[in-house]
Structure 1
Amino acid sequence: MRILSTLILFFLYLTVTAQEQVYELRTYELEFSKPADVLHNYFKQALIPALNRQGIVNVGAFEEAGESLPKKIYLLIPYDNLQALQVSRDSLAHDKKYLQDASSYLKAPEELIPYKRISTSLIRSTSGFPELVQPRDEANLFELRIYESHNEDALRRKVKMFNDSEFDIFEDVGLPVVFFGSNIAGSQMPCLTYLLAFKDKEAHAEAWSEFGPHPEWQRISKLEEYANSMNSITRVFLKPLPYSQL
């Protein structure tokens, strides 16, 4: 009986963890006036193909829309779980084709490296949006949004608000979610992060204009349960790079 109970718990654990992807969101802050070709070539010719060989697909690569400075490149890598991230990194170190394809970047002298620093956030998906969704082919504008909360319980309540209601509202008004999750590591903790995809600025403006007046949003935004669950929003508009898989 004890063995049966253990097996049931084990399979329940597998079922739950299988629903939780982990996203690595890297931000490369570029040096002013330095060409970024060596980095783009590394992503296109070495890193993304190596990740694909590992079974990691839908790797996103973006730059900020507009002329903001310093320029940044964003890389989004979806993993099945946290362990898969570590396995992937270990596999790269032993992938001979990757090491050969990446040699011009890995062995580049310091003066040819185009970025000042790399910052990384790790984001775990939630039950309301467990897996990344490939955007439509017409998507040319992406909106990255980060919601900060004043403590962990406030973040829990904001995530619950999404899981219980907001995703349905997003679908109703035409706000297509690519990924969503609660950050488990990064610089803006505690927070959640998600990405939306649009055809253009007009589609973006139209969808958001319908969000505020939506009856369900009007209802849940007044609930005491969700009061003061979020105190800051960071919004960045992105456009996909030619080799992005999103």
Structure 2
Amino acid sequence: MILRLILIANFFFFTSSYSQSEVFELRVYDMQFGTSTDVLHDFFEDALIPALNRQGIENVGAFEESGEALPKKIYLLIPYKNMQAYLDVADRLEDDDQFKSAAEAYRNTPPDKIPFERYESRFIRSSWGFPNLVKPADDLDQFELRIYESYNEDALRRKLKMFNEDEFEIFEDAGLRTVFFGKNISGDQMPSLTYMLAFKNREKHQEAWAKFGQHPDWQRISNLKEYTNTVSNITRVFLKSLPYSQL
């Protein structure tokens, strides 16, 4: 009887923890060279983000790459409670007259004037070690987006375990401020995980990374056999908030 109660308690703990995870949609827009981006920014600021907010979707992030990278890219981060919430939001947008009215200029833009060639949507499911998006302080308006690819699913499982059990605490000790983290469940560069860090200036951010590399717990876990060959490639992109971003 006692064992049964323990198993039931563990089951509810697991399902409760799982239900607290979030799903993030990360859109990456590839911009057309030499075309005004105003209609897209206006669509985000005046139509899409307010419509998402009306449906209870908060902390929508909008970013562009730091520096003068070409072709330009715009990043949109939308947090959902789960995949069903994403499907529900998409359906409700089609019935939102206020959204359709605000989006009219964008929807009626001629093909030769639309400012992007295409956009890609990646879906990321948060993990138990960092289940929810954390809005950074207002002065942390620069971001580092990192994608870790693994050579197979088991290598990714081990890297996720490494984060969940140890790395988040080391990040905190080193002064690295995580915004979101999760396993990629769709998109390219699979299998992989994605996370975002917020910082104030590049110099302090590099100092925090140096502290991370020297942290005794990192030195310990990075030498464990279990965690060898977990990452086969790293993509790193530096971003800055757009004026209407909620992050």
TM-score normalised over the length of structure 2? 0.94
What residue is the counterpart of 1:115 in the other structure? 116
What residue is the counterpart of 2:53 in the other structure? 52
> Is 1:148–1:188's contact at 8 Å kept on the other side of the alignment?
yes
Name the Cα RMSD after superposition. Answer: 1.6
Written as runs of structure 1 = structure 2, the 5 A alignment for 1:129-148 is 129-148=130-149
The CA deviation string for residues 177-234 of structure 1, in whole angstroms up to 9 with x for no partner, is: 0000000001110000000000111121110111111100000000011110111000
Secondary structure, aligned partner of 1:212: helix
How far did 1:11 drift? 5.7
The CA deviation string for residues 136-193 of structure 1, in whole angstroms up to 9 with x for no partner, is: 1101210000000001110000000000000000000000000000000011100000
Provide the C-alpha distance between the structure 2 equivalents of 1:230 and 1:171, rounded to a whole number of angstroms: 21
Gaps of 5+ in 1: none
Q: Which region of structure 1 is more displaced relative to structure 2, 15-24 or 59-68?
A: 15-24
Provide the C-alpha distance between the structure 2 equivalents of 1:80 and 1:151, rounded to a whole number of angstroms: 28
What residue is the counterpart of 1:211 in the other structure? 212
What residue is the counterpart of 1:40 in the other structure? 41
The CA deviation string for residues 69-107 of structure 1, in whole angstroms up to 9 with x for no partner, is: 100000000000011000000010110100000011012
Provide the C-alpha distance between the structure 2 equivalents of 1:9 and 1:227, rounded to a whole number of angstroms: 31
Q: Which region of structure 1 is more displaced relative to structure 2, 107-116 or 69-78?
A: 107-116
Secondary structure, aligned partner of 1:219: helix
Written as runs of structure 1 = structure 2, the 5 A alignment for 1:65-144 is 65-144=66-145
What residue is the counterpart of 2:62 in the other structure? 61
Provide the C-alpha distance between the structure 2 equivalents of 1:219 and 1:181, rounded to a whole number of angstroms: 23
Paired AA for residue 68 in structure 1: A
The CA deviation string for residues 15-56 of structure 1, in whole angstroms up to 9 with x for no partner, is: 134211000000000011111000000000000000000000
> Is 1:180–1:194's contact at 8 Å kept on the other side of the alignment?
yes
> Is 2:130–2:164's contact at 8 Å kept on the other side of the alignment?
yes
Secondary structure, aligned partner of 1:146: strand
TM-score normalised over the length of structure 1? 0.95
Paired AA for residue 175 in structure 2: G
Provide the C-alpha distance between the structure 2 equivalents of 1:101 and 1:185, rounded to a whole number of angstroms: 30
> Is 1:38–1:112's contact at 8 Å kept on the other side of the alignment?
no
Provide the C-alpha distance between the structure 2 equivalents of 1:208 and 1:16, rounded to a whole number of angstroms: 30
Provide the C-alpha distance between the structure 2 equivalents of 1:209 and 1:73, rounded to a whole number of angstroms: 29
How far did 1:12 drift? 5.7
What residue is the counterpart of 1:164 in the other structure? 165
The CA deviation string for residues 103-134 of structure 1, in whole angstroms up to 9 with x for no partner, is: 11012111121001101110000000000000
> Is 1:124–1:184's contact at 8 Å kept on the other side of the alignment?
yes
Paired AA for residue 106 in structure 2: Y
Provide the C-alpha distance between the structure 1 equivalents of 2:130 and 2:57, rounded to a whole number of angstroms: 19
Paired AA for residue 99 in structure 2: Y
Change (3 A) 1:173 1:64: same
Change (3 A) 1:215 1:9: closer
Report the count of equivalent residues.
241
Paired AA for residue 173 in structure 2: D
Provide the C-alpha distance between the structure 2 equivalents of 1:183 and 1:38, rounded to a whole number of angstroms: 30
